[in-house]
Amino acid sequence: MPLDHSPSPVAPTESSPLWTSGAAAILAVVIMLILAAVRPDMALWLLGGAAVVGAAAWAGMQHKTGSVNPAFASSNLAGEAAPVGSPPRSLDAALLDSVFEALNDPILIVAGGEADDLAGRRIVLANAAARDLLKVPREGGLLVSFVRDPGVLEAVDEALFGGVASATDYSASGARERHWRAWVQPLKLDPARPLAILGLRDETDVRRMELMRVDFLANASHELRTPLASLSGFIETLKGHAKEDPVARDRFLDIMSAQADRMSRLVADLLSLSRIELNEHIPPSGRVDLGRAAADVVDAVSVLSREKGVTVRLEAPAERATVDGDRDEIVQVIQNLTDNAIKYSGPGQTVEIVIETDLALDTAQGPRREGATRLSLVTPDREAGVRYAAVRVRDHGPGMAREHLPRLTERFYRVEGQKSGGDRPGTGLGLAIVKHIVNRHRGGLAVESALGDGASFCAYFPLAARPESSTDTAGPTP
């Protein structure tokens, strides 16, 4: 592509010697004319000399204008006389290609055919980030095959055929929701072949923070209203007619303490859920052995299980079930499922925790109990060659009807007739937390339940690529 030559405003131009000699000739002619007026006896000779100098200067200007400038222009436009120390054009192209590939934001160069032909929108070039996100080829792919969002496609058409730059929202498909800001800019290189650049800027963190603030305020204001009203009522009662009644005072203080504990658990669970949702799109980097994590959970709930007279039994394979994950979050998944199982188990019943490893996806999410209703609550993206390790937690309590299963991971949802409260304290956020942790770990979650025969939850995670024999580590939490 030809380059425009833009000389420095302070540097001498190629024609500066021409104008210097011309100015000297004009000055000489002016001096001769002044002398001719002062010395009339020499006027003839001075006027003749001025004519000769003027004619010579004019001839020189015509010669330089016709010979020097075209050669200079062609030399610069052809790139024959590159400045000393400048890189060759091949190095420039390699540098630009390396920069294009190194950009963190997905970038696509799109070419358009006919305005009414969607098959004409083809990808001329895609950088590494775009290939990783959209699974597009580097060159030659059909845009509509990889980007199906109508708003993005319309913005591309406006840039290709209308020369209009625009921006729109774009949400990537998959188990983990991500939000992007798509911007499109026309490239005016060749009028016969319209081109546009399509870029995606990740705004997932911004959107999650906004939703986190809104959800926290909405949930906290809704769920804290009841215990706060109870506390206010009991305080008024204690200040009134129950002021001198020690029995009523002790009973009301016990209820107030339980309500305060509930509010404390609620705030802690809301903060935990908000933190997990904020980092849900960031894959964890640690290694966790599911068997050891489950053993730690059994030890942690031993006091609660003894108080309720429930036995917790762990079955783990001899080999390690090592998965990629954040240890604290994996432990929280197993503990939340185990706490729920103990909560809905009666005295003398058993809660079973079973660890399985090296499972195909269909096996990991497949049914395990005959006659039970099964539902997948979280389904991971299907990836070739990925094997899974699963933790199954089953109780033998009352179970749940099938109409309740789709809503189990909703915030604050409680099965009718099994409300958390009294001997079943809870916030209704335990399974919502489990869902988001499992989603962050690219895993899955399924439930099976039968009325009168208890419920079982299965959380499964991709096995680590290279299982380690050393102790499991938590790894840094993003």
pLDDT digit string, tens, across residues 16-49:
444 445 555 666 666 666 656 656 666 566 666 6
Residue 397's Cβ-side half-sphere holds a number of Cα atoms within 13 Å equal to: 25
Instruction: Output the pLDDT for position 220.
Output: 65
Beta 350-359 vs 287-289: how paired, if at all? Answer: unpaired
Is 147's pLDDT higher than 80?
yes
The 10s digit of each residue's pLDDT in 200-237 is 888 877 776 776 666 666 666 666 777 777 788 878 88
Q: How far is the CA of 75 from the CAs of 68, 69, 80, 228, in angstroms?
A: 11, 10, 5, 84
In which band, very low, low, confident or very high, does the pLDDT at 350 lie, cut at 50, 70 and 90?
very high
Q: Work out the average pLDDT over 82-89.
A: 49
Instruction: Output the pLDDT for position 437.
Output: 92
Is 292's pLDDT higher than 90?
yes
In the structure encoding, which two tokens stand for residue 234, read together?
Answer: 């009991």
Contacts of 349 (CB under 8 A, 6+ apart): 310, 311, 395, 396, 397
The 10s digit of each residue's pLDDT in 403-421 is 889 888 887 777 755 544 4
Is 150's pLDDT higher than 70?
yes
Please tell me the least confidently modeled range out of 155-159, 245-249, 454-458, 460-464.
245-249
**Of 215 and 83, more confident:** 215
The 10s digit of each residue's pLDDT in 306-333 is 989 999 999 999 888 999 999 999 999 9
Instruction: Output the pLDDT for position 14.
Output: 45
Helix (H, G, I), strand (E, B) or coil at 80: coil
Beta 350-359 vs 311-315: how paired, if at all? Answer: parallel
**Of 69 and 89, more confident:** 89
Judge whether 167 and 201 are in contact, CB under 8 Å: no
Instruction: Output the pLDDT for position 469.
Output: 45
Q: Work out the average pLDDT over 348-359.
A: 93
Judge whether 145 and 137 are in contact, CB under 8 Å: no
Instruction: Output the pLDDT for position 387.
Output: 92
Instruction: Output the pLDDT for position 364.
Output: 87
For residue 82, the 8-state DSSP code is: P
Is 157's pLDDT higher than 80?
yes
Per-chain mean pLDDT for the chain: 76
In which band, very low, low, confident or very high, does the pLDDT at 76 lie, cut at 50, 70 and 90?
very low
In which band, very low, low, confident or very high, does the pLDDT at 89 lie, cut at 50, 70 and 90?
low
- Cα angle, residue 408 at apex, residues 407 and 414 outer, rounded to 5°: 95
Q: Work out the average pLDDT over 394-398.
A: 91
Instruction: Output the pLDDT for position 21.
Output: 55
Q: Work out the average pLDDT over 389-408.
A: 91
Instruction: Output the pLDDT for position 3.
Output: 43
The 10s digit of each residue's pLDDT in 42-66 is 656 666 666 666 666 665 555 544 4
Q: Work out the average pLDDT over 156-170.
A: 87
In the structure encoding, which two tokens stand for residue 66, read together?
Answer: 């016709």
Judge whether 448 and 374 are in contact, CB under 8 Å: yes
Instruction: Output the pLDDT for position 58.
Output: 61
Judge whether 454 and 395 are in contact, CB under 8 Å: yes
Residue 223's Cβ-side half-sphere holds a number of Cα atoms within 13 Å equal to: 25
In which band, very low, low, confident or very high, does the pLDDT at 385 lie, cut at 50, 70 and 90?
confident
Instruction: Output the pLDDT for position 80.
Output: 44
Q: Work out the average pLDDT over 374-395.
A: 90
In the structure encoding, which two tokens stand for residue 83, read together?
Answer: 């400045």
With a pLDDT cut of 70, the percent of the chain lying above it is: 70
